A and B are shown apart, each in its own frame.
Chain A
Amino acid sequence: MATVIVIVIYLALLLGLALFSKTLFRGTSKDYFVASHSIGPFMLLMSVFGTTMTAFALVGSTGKAFSLGIGTYGLMASSSGLIHAACFFMIGIKLWAIGKRYGYVTQIQYFRARFESKGFGYLLFPILVALVIPYLLIGVIGAAKTIVGVTGEKITPKGTIPGTFPEFFSDTGGAIPAWLTGLVICSVVLTYIFAGGSRATAWANTFQTLVFMVMGILAFYLISSKLGGVGAAIEQASDAHKVRTLSESATGKEIGVSKWVFLTYMFVPLSVGMFPHLFQHWLTAKSAKSFKLTVIAHPICIMIVWVPCVLIGIWATGQIPAGTPSGAVLSKTVGMLVKDPIVVGLVTTGILAAIMSSLDSQFLCLGTMFTNDIVLHDTKKTYTDKQTLMIARGFIIGIVILVYILAQILYKKNVFDLAVWSFSGFAGLTPLVIAALYWKRATKIGAYACVIAAFATWLIFFAKSGFGGEYNPGGVTPASIIWVVAALAMIIGSLASSPPKEETVAKYF
């Protein structure tokens, strides 16, 4: 019960902070969508870092290290330190400048103007939405599974301990059911997005990022203490997980990483260059200088969160059964070794913070895109700021309901692998933004070819993976092939068509 109280207090604090940020809301659509370009360096770092670190940051990193070993850090964390910061520097700052100068609040507004095509937005919008939705599902399902793990019945050598609420939820053995967790999480996120849009999201993300960074370190300290210190903890871990050599676990699962997968995984972090929710965060920056701290500190923030989590995952190989689902490794390890319910509650709030700091930005960006790229685009009707905000909020409610329903339907599926598919899709689209920003000769035809080629290749690989499983065609990551195909399509399509108009080139270069 104490665990649930800690979580409720955290959610109340989050709502309180977000409602405070409402007092700073200026009531305009520009403030709602991009916080009137007023976010300073520290909040930009926290909101960008919090948004890029999803459920994957605490739960996924621990689970992947538990199954693959130390290679997880090089695959997903150290490469991101180099590539994410490169995207912020090479893409983020430039898009911020273009967005500020021409008043854009979505990627599609820029691409439509840069590639001289209104129709291009109608091609890109559904693809971006289709790639964001699995990402959203991971958050809602991940939160529900975490709470079920924490409040459900526990099997111990002394017998079964009933769940937290056996009188209310007998069907789930006393665990808070997925429908209720999903409802609470979605309602909290919806409340603060409603209250202040981008500004509330930036405030909430700053708080959530600090919470999940501190809680990750807390979990690391408590678990290592219980195992007799960091030296004793690593001694108890499986030797196969301390190297990247390919081997097989007792359950027949592969441990380690192939060298080609390790190399081509460098393409996956490119996805941040095309995340629509990150584009929106970039545009909230007060000035280009606000990016300086984000570019420098991002690799360090990743290290602070990922090194402890990867070590916990490796230690867990000596503590819990090899067949444990990857999503349950952190909660099982904490539950087994750290029995204090308040501490379990604190670590759980860290996991929820990591999840919710991405959910809010994704919901908000979909509302922003729908309003600006579909409803307001090319319309002859004039909308007031109040009407614009109503449209955005209405669409956000619709998306939240859709995601909530899909999360209930797909709850039992293992959706964590979907995250990598979502990243791969966005990574495959980055030749579009790189060409738009740096290649004067990039044309409308090249842009269409690039997006169609990227999405078609992604769909083929996604289908071959069994719609979300692990699949490395030819021993390399799908993201690397999709990226190369999309880049070739952009180059061939552009060179085979007439150059863009001179005024377009003059406007952006």
Chain B
Amino acid sequence: MKKNWIIIAVFLLLAVLHQDLWNWNNPALVWGFIPIGLFYHACYSIVAAGFWAFVVKFAWPTKLEEWAEGNDEL
């Protein structure tokens, strides 16, 4: 149960971090070719994948599969 709350908290934190107001008017280029506002969100996609990898590893609904096969209670 505690694990679920951690996942919800990280999800909400990621939703907040999506609103990168500090990059809004920043024209800087990372590595001389990618605007920082775009670079941040590309990194965000990688972090989102990492977050979901964590969720899949630690909060996978194993019982659901057994239930789907009609073998167990949900």
Contact = CB atoms under 8 A, between A and B. Distances in A.
Contacts of A298: 49, 52
A133 interface: no
B50 to A, nearest CB: 9
Contact of A78 (B45, B55, B60, B65): B45
Given A77-B45, A85-B52, A307-B42, A244 B37 contact: yes
A189 B57 CA distance: 38
A234 B61 contact: no
A93 B67 CA distance: 12
A415 to B, nearest CB: 27
A81 B37 contact: no
Interface in A65-108: 70-71, 73-74, 77-79, 81-82, 85-86, 89, 93-94, 96-98, 100-101
Nearest to B64: A97
B56 to A, nearest CB: 5
Nearest to A287: B65
A295 B56 contact: yes
A299 interface: yes
Contact of A243 (B24, B32, B48): B24
Interface residues of A, number: 50
Contact of B64 (A93, A242, A262, A311): A93
A245 B24 contact: yes
A248 to B, nearest CB: 16
B45 A302 contact: yes
A289 B18 contact: no
Interface in B1-56: 11, 14-15, 18-21, 23-27, 29, 32-35, 37-38, 41-42, 44-46, 48-49, 51-53, 55-56
A82 B21 contact: no
B52 A299 contact: yes
Interface string A275-318: 00000000000011100100111111011000100110010000
Contacts, number: 126
A297 to B, nearest CB: 7
Contacts of B48: 78, 81-82, 85, 299
Given A292-B56, A297-B49, A509-B74, A266 B65 contact: no
A354 interface: no
Contacts of B70: 101
Interface size class of B (residues with CB under 8 A): 35 or more
A292 B14 CA distance: 20
- Chief secondary structure at chain A's binding surface: helix
Given A85-B48, A233-B33, A302-B45, A266 B18 contact: yes
B38 A259 contact: no
A101 B67 CA distance: 7
A34 to B, nearest CB: 13
Contacts of B11: 82, 86
A340 interface: no
Contacts of B45: 77-78, 81, 299-300, 302-303
A79 B47 CA distance: 12
A231 interface: yes
A37 to B, nearest CB: 9
Given A234-B29, A299-B52, A288 B68 contact: yes
Contact of B25 (A245, A289, A509): A245
A231 B30 CA distance: 10
A269 to B, nearest CB: 11
Nearest to A65: B38
Nearest to B21: A259
Interface in A221-280: 229-231, 233-234, 239, 242-245, 259, 262-263, 266
A295 B52 contact: yes
Given A79-B18, A85-B52, A70 B33 contact: no
B27 A243 contact: yes
Contact of A288 (B44, B51, B64): B64
A424 to B, nearest CB: 19
Contacts of B20: 74
Contacts of B41: 73-74, 77-78
Contacts of A509: 74
9 contacts: A73-B41, A82-B18, A97-B64, A243-B25, A244-B24, A266-B15, A288-B68, A298-B52, A299-B46
Given A81-B45, A234-B35, A289-B65, 7 more contacts: A85-B49, A89-B52, A231-B32, A234-B32, A234-B34, A244-B24, A296-B52
